[in-house]
Amino acid sequence: MFEYFYHEIFRRTIISFGSLFNDIKIKHDNADDVVTSQLRVPLAYGPTQKFLARLKQSPDLNKSIALTLPRMSFEFIGLQYDPSRKVTTTQRFTKGLSADKTSISKAYMPVPYNMTFELSIMTKLNDDMLQIVEQILPYFQPSYNMTINLLETIGEKRDIPVILESIVSKDDYEGDFTTRRALIYTLRFSAKTYLFGPISTATADIITKSTVGFIAGNLSGTVPDRDVSYSTERRALKNYSGQILTVLMDDVSVDDTIIKVVEPDNITVDTYIDLDGEEVYVKSVGTDSITVSRGQDGTTITTHLNGAEIKSITAADADLIPDGDDFGFSGAFG
């Protein structure tokens, strides 16, 4: 409508759905329960009627039916908007900074749609049908999640629930004794996928590093080499990676600056840690406690209970700061 884009979301969902059923096998036993044959059931995309027509139009009615049946086919038959999964349409999310730290990929929240599929199973023998169906149904209770990379450009992967809606059986056995029999089960599924609009790439407006040089001497001539420089980089105010260093040994009040911890050796001096959302600076580390400065960078000083997790704040967390979240700056002279 406004600009060209194509994410292949329908195509990816169709392929992922078909891949759920591409490795189903059946076995045939003799009277002594010895396996005499094993067959992987062929799977193809297309309507059931097409395969039935090929079956009935075969000129050689004496050919072994095992060469044609069993087989399966699946087809994408419908699409419907799902208002129950609707989110704010103006909300956006980002991939984050590119490798060269110069751009950000942004997209509006996706639109939920339900894709309807039909899986048709055709066999000659009832036992073959029961073997196939029994290998499918236990996975749908009534849904099965398949992970699809919906937007490869920004690495957006989502779990798409596939719900088994209904099962219909039919014994297509009409005509005389020379007519081939086709036992047909039709399973209808609904896949709850998402459709994304165009992806925009904008110049990064987040300051990640700043350097200031101090120079001395007469500026009327050639500027001399700078005597010192001050460099600062973006620093996270809380933990994003989920790394836990240790836990509290005792309760901590708002006035405490000496905190007892279970494993103080896991904590490094002159670093920041995340204590239930409160940013804390570590001044020294003892045998069973740490001495800290509380409520750094404007975070709220609160009480903390025994057993509360102490998480790290490192450069890895700085790389995970989402667009719009608060952050601070570290500094160093060189």
Identify the pLDDT of residue 64. 47
Identify the pLDDT of residue 193. 93
Q: Are residues 106 and 188 in the same domain?
A: yes
Give me 169's structure tokens: 């059986």
Give me 57's structure tokens: 């139009």
Q: Show the domain range for 68.
A: 9-201
pLDDT-derived band at 215, boundaries 50, 70, 90: low
Q: Are 190 and 112 in contact (CB under 8 A)?
A: no
Q: Once rounded to an integer, what is the mean pLDDT over residues 112-130?
A: 92
How many structural domains does the chain have? Answer: 2
CATH label of the domain that carries residue 171: 3.30.2000.40
Q: Are 71 and 22 in contact (CB under 8 A)?
A: no
Identify the pLDDT of residue 234. 75
Q: Are 30 and 45 in contact (CB under 8 A)?
A: no
Picking from 115-124, 146-155, 182-191, which range would have the lowest pLDDT averaged per residue? 146-155
> Of 154, 143, 162, which is closest to residue 196 (Cα–Cα)?
154
Any domain includes 253:
yes
What residue has token string 């904590």? 267
Q: Are residues 247 and 147 in the same domain?
A: no
Q: Which of 201, 222, 239 is the last residue of a domain?
A: 201
Q: Are residues 288 and 164 in the same domain?
A: no
Q: Are residues 44 and 134 in the same domain?
A: yes
Any domain includes 96:
yes
Alpha helices in the chain (DSSP H): 9-19, 48-56, 126-134, 315-318
pLDDT at 219 over 70: no
Q: Are residues 29 and 175 in the same domain?
A: yes
Q: Are residues 180 and 233 in the same domain?
A: no
Identify the pLDDT of residue 67. 43
Identify the pLDDT of residue 275. 92
pLDDT at 324 over 90: no
The identity of residue 174, as a single letter, is E
Measure Cα distances from 172 to 53, 155, 237 in Å: 12, 46, 67
CB < 8 Å & 24+ apart, contacts of 25-29: 25/135, 26/70, 26/128, 26/131, 26/132, 27/131
> Of 187, 126, 129, which is closest to residue 162 (Cα–Cα)?
187
pLDDT digits (tens, 9 = 90+) for 82-105: 998 887 665 665 555 555 545 566
Report d(CA 65, CA 178) in Å as an integer. Answer: 12
pLDDT-derived band at 326, boundaries 50, 70, 90: confident
Q: Are residues 36 and 184 in the same domain?
A: yes
Any domain includes 2:
no
Identify the pLDDT of residue 61. 44
Q: Are residues 79 and 132 in the same domain?
A: yes
Q: Are residues 43 and 189 in the same domain?
A: yes
Q: Are residues 292 and 231 in the same domain?
A: yes
Higher pLDDT, 153 or 301: 301
**Which DSSP string do the residues of 15-33 spell out, in sequence order?**
HHHHHTTTT-EEEEE-TTS
Q: Which of 201, 232, 253 is the last residue of a domain?
A: 201
Q: What is the pTM of this model?
A: 0.54
Q: Are 120 and 43 in contact (CB under 8 A)?
A: no
pLDDT digits (tens, 9 = 90+) for 243-280: 899 999 999 999 999 999 999 999 999 999 999 889 99
